[in-house]
Amino acid sequence: MKNNIVYLNGDYLSLGDAKISVLDRGFLFGDGVYEVIPCYKGKLFEFDAHITRLKHSLVEISIDYAYTVEQWRQLLQPLIDNSRNQYIYLHLTRGVGIKRDHAFSKDMIPTVFAMCSNIIPVNNLEQGIKGLTLDDNRWRLCHVKSTALLANVLLKQQAIEIDNSEAILIKDGYVTEGAASNLFAVIDGVLMTPPLTHSILAGITRQVILKIARANNIDVVEQEISIEELKNAQEIWLTSSTREILAVVKLNGTNVADGKVGQLWYTLNRLYQNYKISN
Ligand SMILES: Cc1ncc(COP(=O)(O)O)c(C=O)c1O
More confident residue, 26 or 3: 26
**Alpha carbon of 205 to ligand 1 centroid (Å):** 8
Name 35's bridge partners: 90
Whether residue 112 is found in the same domain as residue 133: no
Mutate to test the pocket of ligand 1, among 171, 181, 204 (most ligand atoms within 8 A of CB): 181
- CATH number for the domain spanning 229: value is 3.20.10.10
Whether residue 90 is found in the same domain as residue 140: no
pLDDT at 142 over 80: yes
> What is the per-residue pLDDT across 206-264, written as a single tens digit (0 to 9) for each?
999 999 999 999 999 999 999 999 999 999 999 999 999 999 999 999 999 999 999 99
For residues 169 and 176, the answer to whether their CB atoms sit within 8 Å is: yes
Give the closest residue (by CA) to ligand 1 atom 2: 180
**Alpha carbon of 179 to ligand 1 centroid (Å):** 8
Whether residue 272 is found in the same domain as residue 144: yes
What percent of the chain shows pLDDT beyond 70? 99
Q: Indicate which residues carry an active-site annotation.
A: 145
**Alpha carbon of 241 to ligand 1 centroid (Å):** 7
Last residue in a domain, options 72, 97, 118: 118
What is the per-residue pLDDT for 44?
98
Whether residue 261 is found in the same domain as residue 177: yes
d(CA 176, CA 194): 6
Which numbered atom of ligand 1 lies nearest the CA of 50? 10
Whether residue 253 is found in the same domain as residue 138: yes
Task: Read off the pLDDT of each residue in 67-80 and give the average, rounded to a whole number.
Answer: 98
Last residue in a domain, options 118, 152, 187: 118
Number of domains in the chain: 2
**Alpha carbon of 202 to ligand 1 centroid (Å):** 7
Last residue in a domain, options 92, 118, 144: 118
Closest CA to 261 of 125, 123, 160: 125
What is the per-residue pLDDT for 3?
63
What is the per-residue pLDDT for 101?
98
> What is the per-residue pLDDT across 103-131, written as a single tens digit (0 to 9) for each?
999 999 999 999 999 999 999 999 999 99
pLDDT at 1 over 70: no
What is the per-residue pLDDT for 113?
98
Whether residue 114 is found in the same domain as residue 215: no
- CATH number for the domain spanning 96: value is 3.30.470.10
What is the per-residue pLDDT for 2?
64
- Residues of the domain holding 220: 125-278
pLDDT at 14 over 80: yes
Whether residue 222 is found in the same domain as residue 270: yes
pLDDT band at 4 (very low <50, low <70, confident <90, very high): confident
Give the closest residue (by CA) to ligand 1 atom 15: 180
Whether residue 257 is found in the same domain as residue 174: yes
Quote the pTM value: 0.97
> What is the per-residue pLDDT across 173-200, written as a single tens digit (0 to 9) for each?
999 999 999 999 999 999 999 999 999 9
Residues near ligand 1 (Cβ within 6 A)? 36, 152, 177, 180-182, 201, 203-206, 239-241
Averaged confidence pLDDT in the chain: 97
Which numbered atom of ligand 1 lies nearest the CA of 200? 3
Whether residue 140 is found in the same domain as residue 257: yes
Q: What is the distance in angstroms between the CA of the first residue and the CA of the last residue of the chain?
A: 23
What is the per-residue pLDDT for 245?
98
Mutate to test the pocket of ligand 1, among 35, 241, 243, 268 (most ligand atoms within 8 A of CB): 241
d(CA 228, CA 230): 5
Whether residue 201 is found in the same domain as residue 241: yes
Parallel, antiparallel, or unpaired: how do β-strands 235-240 and 182-187 relate? antiparallel
Burial class (CB in 10 A: 0-12, 13-18, 19+), 263: exposed
> What is the per-residue pLDDT across 22-50, written as a single tens digit (0 to 9) for each?
999 999 999 999 999 999 999 999 999 99
For residues 234 and 177, the answer to whether their CB atoms sit within 8 Å is: no
Whether residue 58 is found in the same domain as residue 144: no
Whether residue 8 is found in the same domain as residue 36: yes
